[in-house]
């Protein structure tokens, strides 16, 4: 399993292309051109789009990706009400409430503990509410994709619609259950490790 990081879209989101052989999934598609170029460059077949949560910057390229590739997209059931709504997904707040951009087809609803298999890749879905009610982390092998729940040295904001600070604090407890060498791939900024975060992140 390999990971290619593509940074782009409003807010500089990390979109992750996770691939094994020629099979790939995208986590949080933000920049359509960069992602489609990277898929072409690596000669990858896209099988699915996984969302860590429903905020507009993490789905900035979702509609274009789904128009170009006939694949399902996955989001926790609690964030479905957020992702389609340009107010709740924070687009209005930042001036990105373009008409039609958030008119997606129906997603596949996720729940905590779900196991997703794509070719030889197996992702475990971990529900980490707080930044949004349906925020999730995806765990595969030694990698943890944390969206806007956990960043290098900090955590996600809790002033968003349906955010819940005490839920976030509770969600952060799960990170102590991973080995120190687990690599953290956040929704924004540089990667980290669980060991680094447990030592230096004041929120953990």
Q: Identify the three-state secondary structure at position 184.
A: strand
- 55 binds Fe ion per the rule CB under 5 A: yes
Length of the chain: 204
Q: Closest distance between Fe ion and the C-beta of residue 154, in Å?
A: 13
Angle, alpha carbons 110-77-11 (nearest 5°): 95
The residue range among 143-151, 167-175, 177-185, 194-202 that interacts with Fe ion, by the rule CB under 5 A, is 143-151
The residue range among 11-19, 29-37, 54-62, 77-85 that interacts with Fe ion, by the rule CB under 5 A, is 54-62
Angle, alpha carbons 41-44-45 (nearest 5°): 145
CA dihedral (25, 30, 34, 37) positive or negative? positive
- 28 binds Fe ion per the rule CB under 5 A: no
- 148 binds Fe ion per the rule CB under 5 A: yes
Q: Which is nearer to Fe ion, 46 or 150 (CB)?
A: 150
On whether the CB atoms of residues 131 and 160 are closer than 8 A, the answer is: yes
Q: Which is nearer to Fe ion, 39 or 187 (CB)?
A: 187
Site string for Fe ion, 66-105 (x = CB under 5 A): ----------------------------------------
Q: Which is nearer to Fe ion, 55 or 63 (CB)?
A: 55
DSSP string, 6-49: EEETTTTEEEEEEEETTEEEEES---HHHHHHHHHHTT-EEEEE
Q: Closest distance between Fe ion and the C-beta of residue 191, in Å?
A: 17
Interacting residues with Fe ion (CB under 5 A): 55, 148
């Amino acid at each position: 399993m390999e990971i290619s990081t593509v940074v782009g879209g409003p807010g500089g989101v990390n979109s992750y292309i996770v691939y094994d052989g020629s099979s790939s999934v995208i986590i949080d598609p933000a920049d359509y051109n960069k992602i489609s170029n990277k898929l072409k460059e690596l000669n990858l077949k896209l099988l699915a789009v996984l969302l860590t949560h429903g905020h507009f910057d993490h789905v900035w390229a979702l509609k274009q990706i789904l128009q170009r590739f006939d694949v399902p997209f996955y989001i926790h059931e609690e964030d479905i009400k957020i992702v389609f709504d340009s107010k709740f997904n924070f687009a209005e707040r930042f001036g990105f409430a373009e008409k039609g951009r958030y008119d997606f087809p129906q997603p596949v609803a996720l729940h905590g503990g779900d196991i997703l298999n794509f070719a030889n890749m197996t992702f475990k879905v971990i529900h980490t509410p707080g930044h949004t009610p349906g925020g999730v982390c995806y765990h595969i092998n030694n990698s943890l994709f944390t969206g806007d729940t956990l960043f290098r040295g900090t955590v996600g904001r809790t002033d968003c619609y349906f955010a819940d600070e005490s839920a976030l604090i509770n969600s952060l407890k799960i990170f102590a259950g991973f080995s120190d060498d687990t690599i953290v791939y956040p929704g924004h900024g540089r990667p980290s490790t669980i060991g680094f975060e447990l030592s230096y992140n004041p929120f953990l």
